[in-house]
């Protein structure tokens, strides 16, 4: 197996693909359909007319006569456009065809139809407003529109290959039994017993911390900077699947998915042989000396990497 180790951003998000079957003949607009919605016609007349007719009511009547489309003037909008109705509008498709015809009239600046809007699902978590990557934009994921379609399924399993997990309140009920693939004693930092071949792997994927002290740097971890623990795995798990709309902390992308913690990064760093085994195990493949993964992942997240080329 070739393991591609790519530099990934911390805010890597797992997004479930959703199959949506629209109502036949309906148009999907902003995460909803036009089914059951009767569009209005919006017509903006040109400011200057070549005709003597000036009153709005008369211009609407003339437009109806010349287009052959019955039109009723409902009101004038703040932007100066007219909101019209017509018995010829029985569907969104009818409205689209009518405004396309009206737009060609020499007295009309533009013609459009109204479209349905509704409130988007917005969670009440206090840090949601700071999660810029969930917003609508060209480089963000527009999560609120996605949540109108689905907030995820508990049958979806997302494996997070990282520093392991902690018992964080916002991940309560979301973690599956994972595995610790950190084989070397010093990076493992959890005091586990070694197996017959000298590996320190076990079935506890808890994150014991990855701090580096000045004493560590002077001895075992000379290549690493002094730092506090990152709790990186828990942070990534929170981005993906923190309990949402519960009034605390932040909002996960998927509100229901289960997280499979796979510990592959230890104190200071990780080893790509551990990552390779963790990746295989997360996907449901057999790994020598490791138990069978009872909950293979549908999505695997690795917010890790190095600047070197891919190994064999």
Least confident of 30-44, 214-228, 245-259: 30-44
147 shares its domain with 56? no
CATH number at residue 285: 3.40.50.200
Q: What is the pLDDT confidence band of residue 29, given thresholds at 50, 70 and 90? A: very low
- Which residues, other chains included, contact 188 with Cβ-Cβ below 8 Å and sequence gap of 6+? 180, 182, 200, 266, 267
Q: pLDDT at residue 12 above 50?
A: no
132 shares its domain with 104? no
229 shares its domain with 85? no
- Percentage of residues in the chain with pLDDT exceeding 90? 65
Q: pLDDT at residue 33 above 60?
A: no
The residue range of the domain holding 55 is 40-113
229 shares its domain with 90? no
Looking at the domain assignment, is residue 8 inside a domain? no
Residues for the chain: how many in total? 312
Domain count of the fold of the chain: 2
175 shares its domain with 272? yes
Task: Tell me how far apart the alpha carbons of residues 83 and 108 are, in angstroms, rounded to a whole number.
Answer: 13
pLDDT value of residue 30: 40
Q: Which of 158, 263, 257 is nearest to 203 (CA)?
A: 263
Which range of 215-219, 245-249, 260-264 scores highest in mean pLDDT? It is 260-264
Report the mean per-residue pLDDT for the chain: 85
80 shares its domain with 174? no
Q: Which of 140, 172, 168 is nearest to 253 (CA)?
A: 140
92 shares its domain with 237? no
Q: What is the pLDDT confidence band of residue 208, given thresholds at 50, 70 and 90? A: very high
Segment 209-216 mean pLDDT: 94
Q: Which of 35, 43, 79, 34 is nearest to 61 (CA)?
A: 43
186 shares its domain with 267? yes
Which of 113, 138, 164 terminates a domain? The answer is 113
Task: Tell me how far apart the alpha carbons of residues 230 and 248 are, in angstroms, rounded to a whole number.
Answer: 21
Rounded-to-10 torsion of CA 21, 22, 28, 31:
-50
Looking at the domain assignment, is residue 16 inside a domain? no
pLDDT value of residue 123: 86
Least confident of 51-55, 139-143, 161-165, 229-233: 51-55
pLDDT value of residue 281: 97
Q: Can you give the three-state secondary structure of 236-279, one letter per residue?
A: HHHHHHCCCCCCCCCCCCCCCCEEEEEECECCCCECHHHHHHHH
Task: Tell me how far apart the alpha carbons of residues 273 and 147 are, in angstroms, rounded to a whole number.
Answer: 37
Q: Can you give the three-state secondary structure of the chain, one letter per residue?
A: CCCCCCCCCCCCCCCCCCCCCCCCCCCEECCEECCCCCCCEEEEECCCCCCCCCCHHHHHHHHHHHHCCCCEEEEECCCCCEEEECCCCCCHHHHHHHHHHHCCCCCEEEEEECCCCCCCCCCCCCCHHHCHHHCCCCCCCCHHHHHHHCCCCCCCEEEEEECCECCCHHHCCCECCCEECCCCHHHHCCCCCCCCCCCCCECCCECCCCCECHHHHHCCCCCCCCECCCCHHHHHHHHHHCCCCCCCCCCCCCCCCEEEEEECECCCCECHHHHHHHHHHHCCCCCCCCCCCCCCCCEEECCCCCCCCCCC
72 shares its domain with 193? no
CATH number at residue 103: 3.30.70
Looking at the domain assignment, is residue 120 inside a domain? no
pLDDT value of residue 118: 63
Take residue 157 and report the two structure tokens written for it. 């399993």
61 shares its domain with 187? no
242 shares its domain with 208? yes
């Amino acid at each position: 197996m070739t393991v591609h180790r790519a530099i990934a951003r911390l805010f890597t998000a797992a997004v479930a693909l959703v199959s949506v079957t629209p109502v036949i003949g309906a148009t999907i607009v902003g995460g909803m359909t036009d089914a059951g919605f009767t569009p209005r016609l919006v017509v903006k007349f040109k400011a200057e007319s070549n005709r003597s007719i000036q009153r709005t009511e008369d211009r609407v009547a003339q437009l109806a006569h010349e287009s052959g489309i019955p039109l009723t003037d409902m009101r004038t909008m703040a932007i100066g456009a007219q909101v019209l109705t017509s018995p010829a509008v029985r569907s969104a498709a009818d409205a689209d065809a009518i405004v396309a015809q009206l737009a060609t009239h020499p007295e009309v600046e533009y013609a459009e139809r109204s479209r349905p809007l509704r409130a988007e699902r917005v969670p009440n978590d206090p840090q949601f407003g700071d999660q810029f990557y969930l917003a609508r934009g060209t480089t963000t994921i527009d999560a609120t529109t996605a949540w109108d379609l689905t907030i995820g399924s508990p049958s979806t399993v997302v494996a997070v290959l990282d520093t392991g997990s902690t018992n964080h309140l916002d991940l309560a009920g979301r973690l599956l039994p994972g595995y610790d693939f950190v084989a070397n004693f010093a990076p493992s930092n959890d005091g586990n017993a070694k197996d017959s071949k000298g590996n320190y792997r076990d079935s506890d994927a808890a994150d014991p911390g990855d701090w580096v002290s000045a004493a560590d740097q002077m001895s075992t971890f000379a290549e690493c900077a002094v730092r506090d623990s990152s709790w990186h795995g828990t942070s990534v798990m929170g981005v993906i699947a923190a309990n949402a709309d519960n009034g605390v902390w932040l909002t996960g992308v998927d509100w229901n998915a289960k997280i499979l913690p796979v510990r592959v990064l230890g104190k200071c760093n990780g080893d790509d042989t551990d990552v390779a085994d963790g990746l295989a195990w997360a996907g449901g493949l057999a790994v020598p000396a490791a138990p069978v993964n009872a909950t293979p992942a549908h999505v695997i997240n690795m917010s890790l990497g190095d600047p070197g080329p891919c190994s064999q």
